[in-house]
């Protein structure tokens, strides 16, 4: 193994231990003698101190730059009082380097890795392997993993079975166009990528599995919008012998559990408010209202009855209604 520990896992309880680390140079600070390097790996970063007394290691540290890959052997020590970094999980300690090895040099990155700066999207996509090193992107992927791991355990503990359904299948009636894959074995015929596992999970219910789930990849050939992507991942599940409240209770418990697992700092109100489809359309004009803003529809039919404004008059005369929302501060 190239390393004995992860950079981000070291704590004050490790004081005095001899360790070996491997990772990327996140930041380098030369104080005219002492050189400080923030070494980063997949679990976080730790400060490594290179003293001129360790000439070989100090020389290596003097030549490295951002995103160089280093292997460092040293000993964990507490930072001097007043130099602790409360914003860093490893901020109470540092590693005093005794030897260092350059594993790989690096060109100057096209954008800063150690800053959450605004970078052109095309440039980010071109250098995606560098973009994913940035703290926010890295943390997002780790959070996604933690959410999926929680979902799997949560549902498995409730007797759900995870079943993978086919990706290459016949076209099925869904809400968008299918992506088609030509068949080499059957010329002129095509497979359709699933928009959802809808029919497969219904088949599983008829087959007697009763509780199924899948972290499913789905594909929809439609125009891009804020809530539409050509490929996406969804939690897909199905249950037999249950009623509406059973599903609602299950999903509420799942979401509350996810929040407690990955964001314990958030206070999620419970129980979730529940409204009927009819009430949602009547109060908000949509079946997916954003309750944060509370902008409910107000019936203005009586107020505008008798008006000569053609739009309102035709709606009222035909037995319809005129409704509106109050947007505070929107008139200016």
**Residue 141 structure tokens:** 């992927």
Distances, alpha carbon 224 to alpha carbons 217, 221, 229, 265, in Å: 17, 9, 6, 33
Convert 15-33 to b/e letters by CB count within 10 Å (16 or more is b). eeeebbbbbbbbebeeeee
CA–CA separation, 237 and 143 (whole Å) = 21
Fold match flag (7-104 vs 137-262): no
40-98 confidence digits (pLDDT tens): 999 999 999 999 999 999 999 999 999 999 999 999 999 999 999 999 999 999 999 99
Per DSSP, which regions of 105-204 are E strands? Answer: 161-162, 180-182, 190-192
CA–CA separation, 131 and 15 (whole Å) = 34
Question: Domain 7-104 falls in which CATH fold?
Answer: OB fold (Dihydrolipoamide Acetyltransferase, E2P) (2.40.50)
* Percent of the chain scoring above 70 in pLDDT: 100
In this prediction, residue 332 carries a pLDDT of 64
**Which of the four pLDDT bands, split at 50, 70 and 90, describes residue 291?**
confident
Partners of residue 49 on adjacent β-strands: 36, 96
**Which of the four pLDDT bands, split at 50, 70 and 90, describes residue 153?**
very high
Q: What is the pTM of this model?
A: 0.86
How does the average pLDDT of the chain come out, rounded? 94
DSSP type of residue 228: B
Rounded (5°) CA angle 160-163-167 = 150
Q: What are the residue boundaries of the structural domains of the chain, listed by start? A: 7-104, 137-262, 277-324
CA–CA separation, 167 and 195 (whole Å) = 10
Strands 44-50 and 18-30: unpaired
26 by DSSP, 3-state: which? Answer: strand
Pick the CATH number of 137-262 from 3.30.43.10, 3.40.50.10860, 3.40.50.1980, 3.30.930.10: 3.30.930.10
* Percent of the chain scoring above 90 in pLDDT: 85
157-203 confidence digits (pLDDT tens): 999 999 999 999 988 777 789 999 999 999 999 999 999 999 999 99
CB 24 within 8 A of CB 74: no
Strands 323-324 and 298-299: antiparallel
């Amino acid at each position: 193994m190239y390393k004995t520990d992860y950079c981000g896992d070291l704590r004050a309880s490790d004081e005095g231990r001899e360790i070996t680390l491997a990772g990327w140079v996140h930041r380098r600070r030369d104080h005219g003698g002492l050189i400080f390097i923030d070494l980063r790996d997949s679990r976080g970063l730790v400060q490594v101190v290179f003293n001129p007394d360790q000439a070989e290691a100090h020389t290596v540290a003097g030549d490295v730059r951002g995103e160089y890959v280093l292997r460092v052997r040293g000993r964990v020590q507490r930072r001097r009082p007043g130099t602790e970094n409360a914003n860093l999980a490893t901020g109470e300690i540092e590693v005093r380097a005794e030897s260092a090895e350059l594993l790989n040099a690096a060109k100057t990155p096209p954008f800063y890795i150690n800053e959450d700066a605004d970078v052109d999207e095309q440039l980010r996509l071109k250098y995606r392997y560098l973009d994913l090193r940035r703290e926010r992107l890295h943390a997002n992927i780790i959070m996604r993993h933690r959410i999926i791991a929680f979902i799997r355990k949560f549902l498995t503990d409730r007797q759900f079975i995870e079943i993978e359904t086919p990706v290459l299948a016949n076209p099925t009636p869904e809400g968008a166009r299918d992506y088609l894959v030509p068949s080499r074995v059957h010329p002129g015929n095509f497979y359709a990528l699933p928009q959802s596992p809808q029919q497969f999970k219904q088949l599983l219910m008829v087959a007697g599995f009763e509780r199924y789930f899948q972290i499913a990849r789905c594909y929809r050939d439609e125009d891009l919008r804020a809530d539409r992507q050509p490929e996406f991942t969804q939690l897909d599940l199905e249950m037999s012998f249950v009623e509406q409240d059973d599903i609602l209770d299950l999903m509420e418990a799942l979401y509350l559990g996810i929040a407690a697992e990955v964001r314990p700092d958030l206070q999620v109100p419970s129980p979730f408010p529940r409204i009927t489809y009819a009430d949602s359309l009547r109060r908000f004009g949509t079946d997916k209202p954003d309750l944060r803003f509370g902008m409910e529809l107000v019936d203005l039919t009586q107020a505008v009855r008798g008006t000569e404004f053609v739009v309102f008059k035709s709606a009222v005369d035909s037995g319809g209604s005129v409704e509106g929302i109050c947007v505070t501060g929107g008139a200016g």
